[in-house]
Amino acid sequence: MRGLVWFRNDLRLHDNEALYQATETCDELLCVYCIDTREFAHIPYGFTKMGPYRLQFLLETLEYLKTSLQSIGGDLLVYTENPEQALPQLLAAYNIEHLFFQHQVGTEEAAIETKIADYCRVHNIQTSINNGATLFHVDDIPFKLTSLPNIFTDFRKATEKNSTVRSLFPAPTAVVSITTAEPNTIPTSTELGFKIPEPDPRAAMRFKGGEGEASKRLQHYFWETEALKTYKETRNELLGANYSSKFSAWLSLGCISPRTIYWEIKKFEQDVVANSSTYWLIFELIWRDYFYFVAMKYGKLLFRKGGIKQKPLYCISNEAMFENWRIGNTGIAFIDANMRELLHTGFMSNRGRQNVASYLVKDLKLDWRMGAAWFEHCLVDYDLASNYGNWNYAAGIGNDPREDRYFNIPTQVAKYDPEGKYVRHWLG
């Protein structure tokens, strides 16, 4: 049997359900990734959906995956084409009988999946669609999506009590490629119309894409430094590489699975220590799950002005104010420092993200969707569900049980940057 593995945000060999199923089921495989050209379109706010830092991380990840597949007899074919156009052509050209891929949340992503599934149904091609992006499998949480709790704590308590994390899928040891498939190369950022900025020496760390880099980070954070032991105490800091795990970038493209991190935490708890910090990293993985399931439940409401609460929201329109926020020129030092870190590195701490989001929607009273779009453009760890879920949360139209949560900037500075080290680091 001939199969096609459509890689999406699961760019790894280990714990990859689609790849595992395909190698177990098929005699020959085509492994494909489509660089969706819509990501490079300019949106009404004046910038592209995907920016240079995200693109660089993606291209590095694809290079690593291609090399990994080649080392076991396979290959990764990368097409700069929208998947609903590229995949039917490939399915037909190579007489594919079975398509494997991982489900993604998002209304645009769902529309793409529907078109491809419809094509497969008409042409009698089997499809296997997995839900491997989360810590807890969607079938294992103790709710139907329609009755998913609107408060995270209720979700967390129920899943911790009633759900278990599944075991990992082994990485394949061999892939047999379809021999007639024409190999191709991964495009460069220049070919895609982007100039990648030089790394900023002030950056907390260099995020490099690929499954191997994700494994290195896991090894470093858990075993070489044992920084996991103090994660809960340091996670709200602003400077340096090890105050937080920084796994989010590799999780965003599936260079590593949340299950892999979970089971490594369990090993750490057994071999080193189990404490509030080891639990808190699992807690954060559950938060990530929650936003994913919220996106599945609410669909297009997640992206509307009134959010999942469909709540009337007063906003003003002021392009100059947004531009000053975007480039870190508001005159509020703590906000500007965080926004410049984002602008020059593609990363910002969790504490920073909460503050700049609150400032945009509560102080400037601008449309939260502008901020969400800028984060989508910039963040090397951009994740649709977490990004839009957190912006809904910040705007008071999401899953926050507290109405009108507000971050008082002077209070935040006094608590998290009392000596001004972070502000000086980015503003000089």
Tens digits of per-residue pLDDT, 233-261?
999 999 999 999 999 999 999 999 999 99
**Cβ-contact 390, 307 below 8 angstroms:** no
Say if strands 98-102 and 126-130 run parallel, antiparallel, or are unpaired.
Answer: parallel
Residue 187 belongs to some domain of the structure: no
Q: Are residues 269 and 376 in the same domain?
A: no
**Cβ-contact 47, 53 below 8 angstroms:** no
CATH code for the domain of 264: 1.25.40.80
Q: Are residues 73 and 125 in the same domain?
A: yes
Q: Are residues 348 and 324 in the same domain?
A: yes
CA dist 129 and 127 (Å) reads 6
Categorise residue 124: left if φ over 0, alpha if ψ from -120 to 50, beta otherwise. left
Residue 226 belongs to some domain of the structure: yes
Q: Are residues 344 and 242 in the same domain?
A: no
* pLDDT computed for residue 179 by the predictor: 83
Contacts 24+ apart (CB under 8 A), 82-87: 82/34, 82/36, 82/37, 82/38, 82/112, 83/6, 83/34, 83/36, 83/112, 83/116, 84/112, 84/115, 84/116, 84/119, 86/32, 86/34, 87/4, 87/6, 87/32, 87/34, 87/116, 87/119
pLDDT tens by residue, 214-229: 999 999 999 999 999 9
* pLDDT computed for residue 405 by the predictor: 77
Helix, strand, coil share (%) of the chain residues, nearest 5: 50, 5, 40
pLDDT tens by residue, 157-191: 999 999 999 999 999 999 999 988 888 999 999 99
Average pLDDT across the chain, whole number: 96
Q: Are residues 320 and 287 in the same domain?
A: no
* pLDDT computed for residue 62 by the predictor: 98
Model confidence at 194: pLDDT above 70: yes
pLDDT mean over 359-376: 97
Residue 420 belongs to domain spanning: 304-427
Q: Are residues 292 and 321 in the same domain?
A: no
User: Which one-letter DSSP state was computed for residue 6?
Assistant: E
The helix (run of H) or strand (run of E) holding residue 168 is none
Q: Are residues 274 and 319 in the same domain?
A: no
Residue where the block lists tokens 């089971």? 263
Model confidence at 89: pLDDT above 70: yes
**Cβ-contact 175, 73 below 8 angstroms:** yes
pLDDT tens by residue, 259-282: 999 999 999 999 999 999 999 999
- In our burial notation (b when 16+ CB lie closer than 10 A, e otherwise), range 7-40 reads bbbbbbbbbbbbbbbbbeebebbbbbbbbbeebb
Model confidence at 401: pLDDT above 90: no
Residue 161 belongs to some domain of the structure: no
Number of domains comprising the chain:
3
pLDDT mean over 78-83: 96
CA dist 342 and 200 (Å) reads 11
Model confidence at 403: pLDDT above 70: no
* pLDDT computed for residue 199 by the predictor: 94
Q: Are residues 52 and 102 in the same domain?
A: yes
Categorize the per-residue pLDDT at 66 as very low, low, confident or very high, splitting at 50, 70 and 90: very high
User: Which one-letter DSSP state was computed for residue 364?
Assistant: S
Residue 80 belongs to some domain of the structure: yes
Residue 92 belongs to some domain of the structure: yes
CA dist 54 and 5 (Å) reads 23
Domain end among 99, 130, 161: 130
Q: Pick from 155, 110, 111, 112: which is nearest to 401 by CA?
A: 155
Q: Are residues 418 and 384 in the same domain?
A: yes
Is 301 buried (19+), middle (13-18) or exposed (0-12) by CB count in 10 A? middle
**Residue 33, C-beta contacts closer than 8 angstroms, at least 6 positions apart:** 6, 7, 8, 11, 62, 65, 76, 77, 78, 79
